[in-house]
Chain A
Amino acid sequence: MRNLFAFISGALFGGGLFISGMTDTAKVQGWLDVFGDWDPTLAFVMGGAMIPMAIAWWFTQGRKPALGGDFPERPEPKIGRNLVLGSVLFGMGWGLVGLCPGPSLASLSYGGPGHWLFVGAMLAGMVAAVPLRRLLPAT
């Protein structure tokens, strides 16, 4: 059951990314490029995604997940070096090519070799992050 609903959720995510145009690197870079021919699409995608998600968070109050367990606890509102530095590094990569982890997976079937190369490098980066996270413990 967990796997089935994980698959359904993944399919909605991938389908939504495709429909929204977020697998099109030109749209993402167009949104980040405020000094170019600005493309507002990404803001509408984010806004649209917030609506069901905010309702879902509201609905979790006083309830348990349908398949058991507990809802993830709210993390302590601590802003550390890793959060900021990691987000800056991620943002640089995101701007450079216009892909983030979700869309890079959603576009694997049709994006061509450039996308395979990106995902390969991203997985390598995630491997490299393992010792890095030991060297830089969360502050």
Chain B
Amino acid sequence: MIEQDWIWGFVGGLVIGTAGAVYLLINGRIMGASGIVGGLIDGTGMRTMWERLAFIAGVILAPIPLYPLYKEVDTHITGNLVAIVAAGLLVGIGTRMANGCTSGHGVCGMSRLSLRGIVATVFYILAGGMTMVIFKHVLGVI
């Protein structure tokens, strides 16, 4: 049984990077989760609709055959529904405004030393860290 620790984090990271490399070198596109989904939402990506849907289907389905390797599959998501809705809205609006998220700006952008990718990553990590300080340590609500 596999324990989810940093070694598996690194191995999983290599697989994530390989996914980005396949999407770039074969399909010629940047693997950004928020952009792939967002292009279907605002209609700007309809020309490549099937490619986007195929990617999303792969993301959703791939973990299923891997469950048996783990003794527990728990995402430890909060039970605070207000926090979940607020977080989802913020992630949806923010990633579309910034044109990218952890995969597009983070993995794909930073690996080509893109200034925009690096700046975006610095800001979302700082904002995420500040949110932990405020909502966990000061307010104690998450």
Chain A residues near B (Cβ < 8 Å):
2-27, 29, 32-36, 40-42, 44-57, 59-60, 64-72, 74-75, 77-79, 82-102, 104-112, 114-115, 117-130, 132-133, 136
A46 and B106 alpha carbons, distance in the complex (Å): 8
Nearest CB of chain A from residue B110's CB, rounded to whole Å: 7
From A128, which residue of chain B is reached at the shortest CB distance?
B93
**Which residues on A sit within 8 Å (CB–CB) of B84?**
97, 114, 117-118, 121
From B50, which residue of chain A is reached at the shortest CB distance?
A3
> A35 to B131, Cβ gap below 8 A?
no
If A12-B22, A101-B34, A121-B84 touch, whether A25 touches B78 (CB-CB below 8 Å) is yes
Number of A-B contacts (CB under 8 A): 481
Q: Is the interface of B mostly helix, strand, loop or mixed?
A: helix
What are the interface flags for B105-142 relative to A under an 8 Å C-beta threshold, 1 for contact and 0 otherwise?
A: 11110111011100111011111111111011100001
Q: Most A CB atoms within 10 A — which of B4, B34, B63, B79? A: B63
If A67-B27, A101-B33, A101-B101 touch, whether A20 touches B13 (CB-CB below 8 Å) is yes
If A52-B21, A92-B128, A123-B41 touch, whether A13 touches B93 (CB-CB below 8 Å) is no
If A87-B94, A95-B128, A118-B87 touch, whether A11 touches B26 (CB-CB below 8 Å) is no
The residue that A45 contacts in the complex, of B10, B30, B79, B85, with Cβ under 8 A, is: B10
Q: Is the interface of A mostly helix, strand, loop or mixed?
A: helix
A84 and B4 alpha carbons, distance in the complex (Å): 32
**Which residues on B sit within 8 Å (CB–CB) of A111?**
75, 77
If A20-B13, A25-B77, A51-B17 touch, whether A57 touches B24 (CB-CB below 8 Å) is yes
> B92 to A44, Cβ gap below 8 A?
no
Is B89 an interface residue, CB under 8 A from the partner?
yes
From B131, which residue of chain A is reached at the shortest CB distance?
A95
Nearest CB of chain A from residue B105's CB, rounded to whole Å: 7
A66 and B95 alpha carbons, distance in the complex (Å): 29
Chain B residues near A (Cβ < 8 Å):
2, 4-31, 33-34, 37-38, 41-42, 50-52, 54-64, 66-67, 73-79, 81, 83-99, 101-103, 105-108, 110-112, 114-116, 119-121, 123-133, 135-137, 142
> B13 to A99, Cβ gap below 8 A?
no
> B101 to A102, Cβ gap below 8 A?
yes
**Which residues on A sit within 8 Å (CB–CB) of B89?**
93, 121-122, 124-125, 128
17 contacts between A and B (CB under 8 A): A9-B19, A10-B54, A13-B58, A14-B62, A15-B62, A19-B2, A35-B137, A83-B123, A91-B131, A93-B94, A96-B135, A106-B63, A110-B64, A118-B91, A126-B37, A126-B92, A136-B97
